[in-house]
Amino acid sequence: MIFKRNLKKIKEKLEKDKKAVEAELEKIAQKDENLEGDWDSKFPKFNGGSASQTHEEGADEVEEYATRLSIEYSLESRLKDINSALEKISKNKYGLCEKCGKKIEKERLKAFPEARTCAKCKV
Ligand SMILES: [Zn+2]
């Protein structure tokens, strides 16, 4: 297998990326203890949620929450891709396109070690 030589490096990079993504998630979200790999966004409280809160502050919170949700979503899906890539490495199935089953281009894996598909099948 052509990747064998690089596989250790790729695995190390994926594990490093995984830690970085998890650290980012921890800042904005709470890990769901019941569901592995799932995170819930923390709702920001700018004014301690007190009754004196203005409408503007309330709107800021909602906006901030929406931003967090979208960041959380992209981090979470990246984390899933990383985990799935790590799983494939352990099953010796790493580097194959999930759609056409062909080998994913080496250059693509270099740039996106967590890629699930080859460049042709990429959406
Ligand atoms: Zn493909």
CA of 74 to the centre of ligand 1 (A): 22
Sign, CA torsion 112/104/12/40: positive
Query: Helix or strand or coil: residue 111?
Result: helix
**Portion of the chain with pLDDT greater than 90, in percent:** 56
CA of 107 to the centre of ligand 1 (A): 14
The label of the residue with tokens 């800042």 reads 27
CA of 94 to the centre of ligand 1 (A): 13
For residue 79, the model assigns a pLDDT of: 96
Q: Which pTM was predicted? A: 0.77
The residue among 2, 4, 24 whose CA lies nearest residue 82 is 24
CA of 121 to the centre of ligand 1 (A): 4
For residue 90, the model assigns a pLDDT of: 93
CA of 111 to the centre of ligand 1 (A): 16
Strand (E) or helix (H) holding 15: helix 4-28
pLDDT, tens only, 61-98: 889 889 989 999 999 999 999 999 999 999 989 999 99
pLDDT, tens only, 43-71: 766 555 555 667 788 888 889 889 989 99
CA of 73 to the centre of ligand 1 (A): 25
CA of 123 to the centre of ligand 1 (A): 10
